[in-house]
Structure 1
């Protein structure tokens, strides 16, 4: 495999609005991030994925961009982002900008010009269609945020297309002028020294609206190859695409270096297996470890030689990992460490979402009025209007609503968790007095230092980065076990995903193996007996060599 700098890197995602507020207005900002760079350097991460900080009316918390080359006033200034890039570089940390080019804000100058006249040169930057004879939308396509995907513009008598909020009109990627504008903007940021891009819903830019093909359209990969040639291709940067629709076969098309598209993609099959087939994430299903292992094995195996995996439990759109897959109560610390170990020892690039490294949990606000997320609010109104009981919708929001990930970062046990001197834009999780970074840094056995050790192991262990993947105990309902193999070197990773102790009979070839215990959330293991006992949520990693271990 052609080795890349980002193969042994670890990415830390920051949701700026919720990370750290330096000026007391209740909204996290760039100055706040700069002030916490030493904390991130101590953790050991290599890149910061920065959720959007561009100028925006914040209809979708920054994923509706009004100017790609300016910064939203609540976050700071262009000078401050340049300072962030420079200060991060001093600590060997790169900045990964969030690139949102499926759509813009309806306040973007391109869209304002497009609305001004059907004859505007910017009209074709967006997707317009005439109404049906009765004045209704061109078809029945739906927005991902609820309601029709078509919004009527009275001035011109036409509809424009929006897969998200009506204030997020979709760009027309069939227009070469749109492609050129985006490529120029990307190069402008790359020239500032950023480390690459995270590409929001990039699998939608090849859509064929009239044929109702939204994802993986026939023009998608040619568009990405052209983007590669025109912008980041000649530069040594990381590009990761958000692709909810990707299969392993499609992911290889994105990430096979020979195709010259992207470094890797985010796939969500392990996430959506907990969603109801009909009602989606608003009616969650129990986590099925056996099915999860099948999914992981498939992706690890099928991208082994001609692609690269991104590894993540949570992000700004997903619930907190320890609440979703672990135990946010009695075994919060043990299960958070277990989840970290299970993920970071896989082949791929790990992503940590802010607060994950201290075991932050989901929140249960008392009222729907306490929530800010446009997706949760829209679906709550739409579905309760359709007769879904309030309590059922709230349970869906408690489990999978996006505000679970967006409650302010918990820095200490002081006023507002040290996030802000003002009134936070979103209420805090009440458990911040117990769960916070200050407490984690004061405890050498904390979740934080477990993550720090895992990050350092990736720099020390080539088998962890490049070894192949072998699934073990495929049908065990409680234990996720696997080996990583590179030449004679082996890593054995055992993870108990349950609150019950487990007794395991290991495969014969592993019985009696002696090696080096690398990490564990209870203790280090240096030998494998015929029968292995695992405590609740216990995990450990042991390294051994085939040449030095007894048969």
Structure 2
């Protein structure tokens, strides 16, 4: 296979310098650390765990929504974008978190729910009483899909469009196409859409001024309606990018779009490969098992003990996106998130997760670690619905269980009685904890820590270095920057590969930097089951 080389930033687009070195850690606030024994994680609890994140090597933290909400959708139903929800603390607690994180070299990103609000937000209650207020999408009649149109709760007649749950009315950013049969559609430059774009800037500016490094943008692709090629949506984010570059040039947007080849050229700084757009991430680790849409299919993924997957689909998607981005931003790869099952799920055990982390932290993308994945926390099946986590075939609560800190009561998450916890602790007696793994140099936690340190120490392993794929089967073998060899075998069975002449000719023998179970002798590579190796040539 020919060399695949990541590109340098192009002229006209400015990237904050810190982004390329970002190791992002996602925290689901209600499940991370409870400081006041009410059973729900909070901001002071996160502040108290910053030393752990600094020790791990994390330099960027992304928090799921922590604003005022009725929590019908775990905080993605925002009722006040400028106020911290009391269950998490106060705005002053958040500012203390920012300062404590900054002192440890850690940036904090918030979650921006841009496409909808709670039905309790003052914007919506006003719009529901005032037919001239078009901050939301209103119609005098119901349209397809019928379940998305909800009767007005106020004096205004008609129906409003919901983005996800009925309690989440869609903000009006206009329609890309007009339709005479639907006269309620408004263009993107109508007063309502203009007011909402201004509101997004005001929200971001408020938190930027308090030290926030950026936002992960929820459903970033969904703002402009009936926009099949996303041209109008891209124009909106291009406008936001230009404003950020002018007013806050060291801040960044990380989007839930799932299509980097479209979103990054549009103006987003970093976008994920995600499951609901293509199969780029599902072909790596299928996090849909047990926690998301069954109709997405169940084709074998590469990082699974059965060893029936392939890297080819991921590589094709990555090359296409990398070429389209052309240095204007980055692709992010997550281990999991609050909507999908964890790396350890079903047949995928903790033994498989170390090779997955080796790939994640040596591939030219930005790594995003979901809290607890660094110790091998598993997706816990069979839990009750919590704050809208259960919808049809989506059972997301299994990925939202409390962080497992130690062997004390409630795994060190909270001093509350077990029946008051946000979600139950994983009942497995063999559940992993930070305390048990921290002093074990061979444990997953210390392997992840070492890989993060290697990425920082060796620029060839970061997003700017070239990558040459030598083998797409088992093991997966590639060169970074022409100077580092990476071998990853996530299947149960051992695997072998013969290096091509150019790679095998390097002398002396490659120096092992990290890993276990991989041996390189001359041109021959032998990889035990569930193994990985990072070598300096």
TM-score range, shorter chain: 0.7 to 0.9
Quote how far apart the aligned CAs of 1:379 are: 0.4
Partners of 1:432 and 1:351 lie apart in 2 by 28
Report 1:114-263 matches (<5 A): 114-119=127-132, 123-131=133-141, 137-140=142-145, 148-153=147-152, 155-174=155-174, 175-208=193-226, 213=227, 216-231=229-244, 233=246, 234-244=248-258, 246=259, 249-254=261-266, 261-263=267-269
Partners of 1:190 and 1:232 lie apart in 2 by 13
Partners of 1:503 and 1:231 lie apart in 2 by 49
Alignment deviations for residues 227-255 of structure 1 (CA, whole Å, 9 cap, x no partner):
123345542122111113x2x5314423x
Larger displacement relative to structure 2 (104-113 or 266-275): 266-275
Quote how far apart the aligned CAs of 1:55 are: 0.5
The question of whether the paired residues in 2 share the 8 Å contact of 1:413 and 1:433 is answered with no
User: Corresponding residue for 1:446?
Assistant: 443
Number of positions where the alignment pairs a residue of Structure 1 with one of Structure 2: 480
Change (3 A) 1:319 1:232: farther
Alignment deviations for residues 431-475 of structure 1 (CA, whole Å, 9 cap, x no partner):
36541111011212221111111111122112112112222223x
Quote how far apart the aligned CAs of 1:86 are: 0.5
SS at structure 1 position matched to 2:514? strand
1:532 to 519, 525, 532: 525
Partners of 2:295 and 2:499 lie apart in 1 by 39
- Does residue 482 in structure 1 map to residue 478 in structure 2? yes
Query: Please, what TM-score do these two structures have when normalized by structure 2?
Result: 0.84
Change (3 A) 1:373 1:532: farther
Query: Please, what TM-score do these two structures have when normalized by structure 1?
Result: 0.82
User: Corresponding residue for 1:19?
Assistant: 32
The question of whether the paired residues in 2 share the 8 Å contact of 1:317 and 1:405 is answered with yes
- Does residue 352 in structure 1 map to residue 358 in structure 2? no
Quote how far apart the aligned CAs of 1:12 are: 0.6
Quote how far apart the aligned CAs of 1:322 are: 2.7
- Does residue 471 in structure 1 map to residue 493 in structure 2? no
SS at structure 2 position matched to 1:31? helix
The question of whether the paired residues in 2 share the 8 Å contact of 1:53 and 1:72 is answered with yes
1:313 to 335, 343, 355: 335
- Does residue 502 in structure 1 map to residue 501 in structure 2? no
Partners of 1:532 and 1:124 lie apart in 2 by 63
Name structure 1 gaps, 5 residues minimum: 132-136, 142-147, 255-260, 381-396, 545-551
SS at structure 2 position matched to 1:457? helix
The question of whether the paired residues in 2 share the 8 Å contact of 1:318 and 1:402 is answered with yes
The question of whether the paired residues in 1 share the 8 Å contact of 2:115 and 2:163 is answered with no
SS at structure 1 position matched to 2:127? helix
User: Corresponding residue for 2:322?
Assistant: 303
User: Corresponding residue for 2:405?
Assistant: 411
SS at structure 2 position matched to 1:226? helix
Quote how far apart the aligned CAs of 1:491 are: 1.8
SS at structure 2 position matched to 1:270? coil
Alignment deviations for residues 352-380 of structure 1 (CA, whole Å, 9 cap, x no partner):
11001111111122xx6x2326253x305
User: Corresponding residue for 1:383?
Assistant: none
Alignment deviations for residues 138-195 of structure 1 (CA, whole Å, 9 cap, x no partner):
2226xxxxxx111122643311111200101110113211111221111011011111
The question of whether the paired residues in 2 share the 8 Å contact of 1:204 and 1:216 is answered with no
- Does residue 73 in structure 1 map to residue 86 in structure 2? yes
Larger displacement relative to structure 2 (429-438 or 280-289): 280-289
Alignment deviations for residues 338-358 of structure 1 (CA, whole Å, 9 cap, x no partner):
110011100021111100111
The question of whether the paired residues in 2 share the 8 Å contact of 1:270 and 1:292 is answered with no
Name structure 2 gaps, 5 residues minimum: 1-7, 10-14, 175-192, 303-308
Quote how far apart the aligned CAs of 1:112 are: 0.7
Change (3 A) 1:218 1:298: closer
Bigger fraction of residues in helix: 1
1:517 to 492, 509, 512: 512
User: Corresponding residue for 1:145?
Assistant: none
The question of whether the paired residues in 1 share the 8 Å contact of 2:42 and 2:89 is answered with yes
User: Corresponding residue for 1:541?
Assistant: 534
The question of whether the paired residues in 1 share the 8 Å contact of 2:496 and 2:524 is answered with yes
Quote how far apart the aligned CAs of 1:301 are: 5.9
The question of whether the paired residues in 2 share the 8 Å contact of 1:293 and 1:480 is answered with no
The question of whether the paired residues in 2 share the 8 Å contact of 1:206 and 1:216 is answered with no
User: Corresponding residue for 1:492?
Assistant: 485
